Amino acid sequence: MKKAATLAKCTVLLAWLLGLSGGQAAARAREQVPFQLVQGKVTDAGTNTPLPGVNVLVKGTLTGTTTDADGNYQLTVTEPGAILVFSFLGYEKQEIPVGNQTTLNVRLAEDQKTLEEVVVVGYGVQRKSDLTGAVASISSEEITQLPVATLQEGLQGRVPGVQVSQTSGAPGANPRVRIRGSNSIQYGNDPLYVIDGFPINSGSGTGNIGAGNAFGNNQGTSPLAFINPNDIESITVLKDASATAIYGARGANGVVIVTTKKGKAGQTQINYDTYVGVQQISKKLDLLNAPDWAELDRLFWARFRNGSLLSRAYTPEQIAAMDAGTDWQDAIFRTAPIQSHNLSLSGGSEKTRFSISGNYFDQQGIIINSRFRKGTAGINLEHDANDRFKVGTSLIASFIEDDAVPHSTTGHDQGGILYAAMHMVPTLPVRQPDGSYSSQEKLFNTTGIFASPQTQNPVETAERMKNNKTNSRVLGNLFAQYRIGESLVAKVSLGADISHVRLNAYIPSDFVISRGVGGTGRVAVNQVFNWVNENTLTYHKTLAERHTFNALAGFSVQRERTSSVTAISQNFFTDILGYENLGLGSSPQFPASDAFRWSLVSFLGRVNYDYAGKYLFTASARYDGSSRFGQNNRYGFFPSAAVAWRVSQEKFLRENRWLSDLKVRTSYGRTGNQEIPLYQNVQTFGLGSPYAFGNNFVTTIVPGALVNENMKWESTDQWDAGVDLGLFNNRLSLVADYYYKVTRDLLFNVAIPRQGGYTSSLMNIGSVRNKGLELGLNAIIADQALKWNLAANISFNRNKVLKLADADRFFGSTISSYLIQRNGGAGTVIMEGQPIGVFWGNIFDGLWQTQEEFRAGHMANNSNVGPGFENYRDVDGNGVFQEGLDETVVGNPHPKYEFGINNTLSFKGFDLSIFVNGTQGNDVLNLNLIDLTTQINGKNGLAIYKEAWDGPGTSNRIAKIDRPDGREGTFPNRVSSNYIEDGSFVRLRNLTLGYNVPLAPGAFLKRARVYAAAENLLTLTKYSGYNPEVSSMGNNNTVFGVDMNAYPLAKTYRLGVQIGF
């Protein structure tokens, strides 16, 4: 302060010395720039307690200070007509002219808007301070921080307890979402999504339609990709039973409530947001170049069968003349553009409010010829007919076009582009001098040099194979609301979700995969019509200013009908028209058509009681009847209760200066899961194999699954205990939750003695437990000229199978019968005492080094093994390695914990955001290593092949380049610990630097911001593959954390502009 006064005096003295106005001018300068010391105390207007840390700023300048621990401040004012601005989080801002005052005491009133912050919950809203359950919210700014194609991506790393995994880096791919772990073994684990009141399950058929195994598995487009992220106002995640039981049979896996932006009364606002950018592969594998591969390949043929097939290899002279050859990764990867354009208008009067938006999103994939395009339009209208009656509507319309590239479904088929790029021999060019695509089959047929003939040129596959999907979708909702008296509100809503999905696919007739059938064309159409009607009564009443009641009662009915048609034709005489004229195929296949329907009828209710803002109680229940279940168990009742105590409102803490909020809460309840295949409760029939009757073949009808009339809901009981803590006027806030939930009556297809042709039946067989801890932290580190907010969260979940039916274990879904030639191609198990889907196989103990060691070991009697080959552990310790008996758990795909950290900073017009997320303690089964490290003949491999065993002590991981009996006996096509890697990672998910352009008051532009952003800039991991965040089997419940030719993740660099009028 003394420095400020001295500086002011020096300014006046300098003016005098320069002779600007002489002595009299200096006197006038002193009058215009008074040196006024202002001091005072800032207190709470309600309690009169001092407020430390209040910002005191001279308006229009950077001159300011903050109050001390006793609420006192001092500030030297040099500006004539100065106005002091007093601001503090949770309190209303005050602006006070200084005038001639030297003492200025201020009383700040609590900001009711902050205190009354509301969050959207099931069938209503609640004040955040009154919540008794585990509920988290995400703002629109957080959602649009990243260039997301689906709203699930916007959840990643933002909410404790919500695990979002990118199963594929393909544009528009469907992420895997789990809230507080996996509950079900075989069926739905996805949360329920509620879009402006309309319930949608992401596992439904809407948007997902497969092209068939011959075309590969691209994991499907996300059914929620139709939503424009820019239209989202907020996302609320309901996690515990107190919050989710109101959704009953669909609440077991958590609920995500999406609220789109509504219009507000006032001047019409026009906003245009756009960005353009490029994407690049974030990591490449280190593969062998041409001469290195050719030398190792020659070494293999020289050893294999005593060199009798050495002519299949390049000669030393040919190898010496080779250059580096073709990098097939460079051939299929590209720098791909991405762009988004969003235009919105909102406004209205006090009676009528509107919001209209349109968006175009275009993301080309980093693999050539992959692309995802989306156009959406949205409208929200609300009209107050009078003080009691209100109507409104929301509508989302979208069109999506997805050009997907084939993904290998068996681990080795020639339809997979990435598989072919990893294994295509580098000695071949992409194209021959005549412009034709090079072919390994032609290489072998014309030169005798062996390269796997089944591997198709990946560039040719990307450019000529077609796999196009379009999705037209409309989701609309109408509501009418009427206030009956002062306390009772009736609401009726009717919504519909209509989608039309079309798949067009074609494999050319000269492809290896289709040459035997002369090309294959497929057209499939899937139509879904889903409607819901909901009717609620809400009662709100406060008695004696201390007792507040809120009650909800409702009735809901929802029905969905799906129909599909598929046509396939083969043997095309020309590839020019492809799927656009299936009639050109002379071998049409049997057409297929399906129709499905399900319905749900529900009664629901909730009661909230609040005593003096301190003691809170919530009870909710839902009674559901579902057409999916048997007659004996069609209806289910799902109750919950919760209590909370706002300790900070007690008298003994109200005067506390550092404690802003303290609430302890607990809840218990039951929810259900109805996401099982349809018609398991009725006898179904299907087509069987043709039967020879006399000289003719006749169509046979065979029964479907064995009906289980006693099949019932999977039900989840969950207990939750939480603490909400706010310190230093909520500058630091913490939310902590511990939960324990058990899912019983798990549905699983269980093998039964063959009777009447049945081999399995869907039964309720066991239980699964999830327990964990969630921590969420928010901190305002600085809030003056420099503003710095920190949001961080961390989650710990432990999953465990408690009970199964009469079986030691069940294997998970088949992954690849080629890469895993054990256990029917399965690599995971479900067994008591272990998490769902742990990796199951052999423990790799290195390589046998000497003949003596091998002969004395436990694998001496196993064929095709010896020095330089795999040593698998004798798990049961009986001295002999036995296939199938010496297998055990070798890895766990579940992370020990996952986290997210988001920093947002601003200074003057600049803003900076840094978002980091990651997981720790999870394993990945890297099946790419099998062929890339054990099959050098005819296929390329990793550069570490050069470190293969070549005598005792030379290597203990990469086996000898030789397999005397080929793929006979004991060989490496299996799950073993050698292929299990640490999948932990820390990723710089987003980095954004922006600048808000200063605008003059009254200017045509109301807002102008430019920014540069980058995604996935840096990943810290020990994983050797493309991306540790991977799950090639998509959203499979029993198999995840498997890397098998998955579409890699891209780095993205963007430039954006945001303009408001």
Q: What is the 3-state secondary structure of 678-705?
A: CCCCCCCEEECCCEEECCEEECCEEECC
Average pLDDT over residues 44-51: 79
pLDDT given for residue 26 in this prediction: 36
Task: Assess whether pLDDT exceeds 70 at residue 13.
Answer: no
Per-residue pLDDT at 863:
86
Would you state the pLDDT for residue 20? 34
Q: Is the pLDDT of residue 643 over 50?
A: yes
- At 937, is the pLDDT very low, low, confident or very high (cuts 50, 70, 90)? confident
Q: What is the pLDDT of residues 342-360, one digit of tens each?
A: 999 999 888 999 999 999 9
Which of 258, 257, 253, 250 has the alpha carbon at shortest distance from 598? Answer: 250
What value does the mean pLDDT take over residues 48-57? 81
In which band, very low, low, confident or very high, does the pLDDT at 331 lie, cut at 50, 70 and 90? very high
pLDDT band at 14 (very low <50, low <70, confident <90, very high): very low
User: Domains of the chain, with CATH numbers?
Assistant: 34-113 (2.60.40.1120), 118-282+334-415+465-743+755-803+895-922+983-1060 (2.40.170.20)
pLDDT-wise least confident of 24-33, 435-444, 717-726: 24-33
Of residues 266 and 470, more confidently modeled: 470
CA distances for 837 relative to 527, 800, 976, angstroms: 33, 10, 15
Mean of pLDDT values over 15-37: 45
Predicted confidence (pLDDT) at residue 1054 exceeds the cutoff of 80: yes
Q: Band of the pLDDT at 99, cuts 50, 70, 90?
A: confident
What is the band of 761 on the pLDDT scale with cuts at 50, 70, 90?
confident
CA–CA dist 1011, 747 (Å, integer): 50
Q: Higher pLDDT residue, 170 or 336?
A: 336
Q: How confident is the model at residue 25 (pLDDT cuts 50, 70, 90)?
A: very low
pLDDT above 60: residue 156: yes
CA angle 520, 522, 523 (to 5 degrees): 160
Distance CA 187, CA 714 (A): 10
Give yes or no for residue 884 having a pLDDT over 60. yes
Give per-residue pLDDT as tens, 377-419.
Answer: 999 999 999 989 999 999 999 999 999 888 765 656 556 899 9
CA gap 959, 274 in Å, rounded: 53
Q: 61-73 burial, b for 16+ CB within 10 Å, e for fewer?
A: eebbbebeeebeb
22-36, 83-97, 1014-1028: which range is least confident on average? 22-36
Tens of pLDDT, residue by residue over 675-711, are: 888 877 777 777 777 777 777 777 777 777 777 777 8
Q: Are 79 and 58 in contact (CB under 8 A)?
A: yes
Residue 214: predicted pLDDT: 41
The stretch 1044-1049 carries a mean pLDDT of 91
The string over 16-46, giving b where at least 16 C-beta atoms fall within 10 Å of a residue's C-beta and e elsewhere, is eeeeeeeeeebeebeeebeebebebbbbbee
pLDDT confidence bin for 296, thresholds 50/70/90: very high
Helix or strand or coil: residue 436?
A: coil
pLDDT tens-digit series, residues 727-753? 988 899 999 999 999 999 988 777 777
The CA distance from 11 to 13, in Å, is 5
What are the residues facing 564 on neighbouring strands?
526, 594
- Per-residue model confidence as pLDDT tens digits over 826-859: 999 999 999 999 999 999 999 999 999 999 999 9
Say what the pLDDT of residue 412 is: 60
pLDDT class of 221 with cuts at 50, 70, 90? low
Can you point out the beta strands (E) in 844-984?
A: 844-847, 870-872, 888-891, 897-907, 910-920, 923-926, 980-982
Contact 669, 641 (CB under 8 A): yes
Confidence at 485, pLDDT banded by 50, 70, 90: confident
Instruction: Among 93-102, 575-584, 946-955, 1044-1053, name the one with the lowest average pLDDT.
Output: 93-102
Q: What percentage of the chain reaches a pLDDT higher than 90? A: 62
**Of 333, 278, 361, 335, nearest in space to 1012 by CA:** 278
Structure tokens at 443: 């290489």
Check pLDDT > 80 for residue 128: yes
Helix (H, G, I), strand (E, B) or coil at 677: coil
* pLDDT reading at 146 higher than 60: yes
Q: Per-residue pLDDT for 246 more than 70?
A: yes
Q: What is residue 304's DSSP assignment?
A: G
This model's pTM is above 0.85: yes
